[in-house]
A = this chain, B = another copy of it.
C-alpha cells in the first residue's frame, strides 16, 4: 500500500506542475486545493525541497515552487524519496538490499524469484513516467 505521505507528495507536485507559472505557492493554498492536512503537508514539502525537487521562499509572497521541469522529474526518484524502497521485499531491493534471515539460499527461493519480476515491471512503469506524463502538459 502506498502511504498517504507519498500520495500527498505526488498530488502536491502535480498541483505545482499544472500551474501556469513557477511562482511560489503557499502551503495553505496547496493544502486547501488538494484536501491535505496543513501541517502534514508542510513536512512533506520540506523533504521534497531537501531532495532537490522544490525550491522555497520565505516571508510574504513566499511558498514552494518547482525548480525542475516536470518532464525531467522521474517518478521512481519521487517515490524513493517519499516512500522508500520500491521492491516488495528487502532481498530483491536494488537500493535497500537486505538478506532474509530465514532464507538459506536466495537463488532457490520462490518468493524471491517472483518478487524480482514484480520489481522489474514496477520499476519500468515508474521509470517511464515523468511528472509531466501524469500531470498532463497544462500550460
Contacts and interface: CB of A to CB of B under 8 A. Distances in A.
Interface of A: 1-2, 7, 10-11, 14, 34-36, 75, 85, 88-89, 101-103, 109-111, 113-115, 117-118, 121-122, 124-126, 129, 131, 134-136
Contacts of A11: 109-111
Contacts of A103: 35
Each complex incorporates copies of this chain amounting to 2
B125 A2 contact: no
B10 A102 contact: no
Interface of A, secondary structure class, is helix
Contacts of A1: 85, 88-89
A110 B122 contact: no
B2 A88 contact: yes
A102 B37 CA distance: 10
A109 B10 CA distance: 10
Nearest to A109: B11
26 contacts: A1-B85, A1-B88, A1-B89, A2-B111, A2-B115, A7-B89, A10-B111, A10-B114, A11-B110, A14-B110, A14-B111, A35-B101, A35-B102, A110-B134, A110-B135, A111-B134, A113-B134, A114-B125, A114-B129, A114-B134, A117-B125, A117-B129, A118-B122, A118-B126, A121-B121, A121-B122
